[in-house]
Amino acid sequence: MWGRRSYGRVVLEQARRLWEKQDQHRGDRHRLFSAVAAAVDVETVLYPGSYVDLAPSFVWPSVTYVDIDRRATQFFDDEAGVRALLADRGVDPDSHSVRFIEADYSDSLDLDDGAFDLLVSLYAGFVSEACTRHLRVGGCCW
């Protein structure tokens, strides 16, 4: 969870612009993740190679995002902007945990083995090779 900080409107707009570019087919990722949520029992999600795809946090209460792209770092560093985007989608930011790790997911991540219910891979390559150890027994890769 985040601490409360005050950010200016410019910072909020930077996050919003990045998200709007990511969500150029408005709501497609949200619908996709909602369908996955209907099929599998998930609380904790690991999303390596996420870029700024915040849509899993519209659906699941705890998502850890991993990416090396500096724009993703800027996006997730804008806590107020991310919180505003969640609130815009009807999600209470105080009830969701959004964590971002700036790293190459193929390197060792400071995450516990077996800590996640779902491993998401969309366009990031062979995520499962590097990150499956972080899935709980019975968890799923999608």
- For residue 140, the model assigns a pLDDT of 81
- What mean pLDDT, rounded, does the chain reach? 85
What is the number of domains present in the chain? 1
pLDDT at 122: 82
CATH number at residue 51: 3.40.50.150
Q: What is the average per-residue pLDDT within 100-112? A: 94
pLDDT of 45: 97
Residue 15 inside a domain? The answer is: yes
pTM: 0.83
For the chain, percent of residues with pLDDT exceeding 70: 85
Pick the more confident residue, 22 or 96. 96
Geometric angle at alpha carbon 79, from 112 and 127, rounded to 5° = 40
pLDDT digits (tens, 9 = 90+) for 28-41: 678 889 999 999 99
Arithmetic mean of pLDDT, 9-28: 64
- 60 lies in a domain? yes
**Residue 15: pLDDT over 80:** no
Q: What residue numbers bound the domain in which 114 lies?
A: 9-141
What pLDDT digit, counting tens, does each position of 45-84 carry? 999 999 999 999 999 999 999 999 999 999 999 898 899 8
Residue 132 domain flag: yes
Is residue 1 one of the residues assigned to a domain?
A: no
Can you give the pLDDT at residue 12?
63
User: Could you tell me if residue 2 is inside a domain?
Assistant: no
Please report whether residue 4 resides in a domain: no
Long-range contacts of the stretch 1-10 (C-beta < 8 A, 24+): 1/94, 1/97, 2/79, 2/83, 2/93, 2/98, 3/79, 5/79, 5/80, 6/80, 7/78, 7/79, 7/80, 7/81
Q: How many beta carbons lie within 10 A of that of residue 25, not counting itself?
A: 8
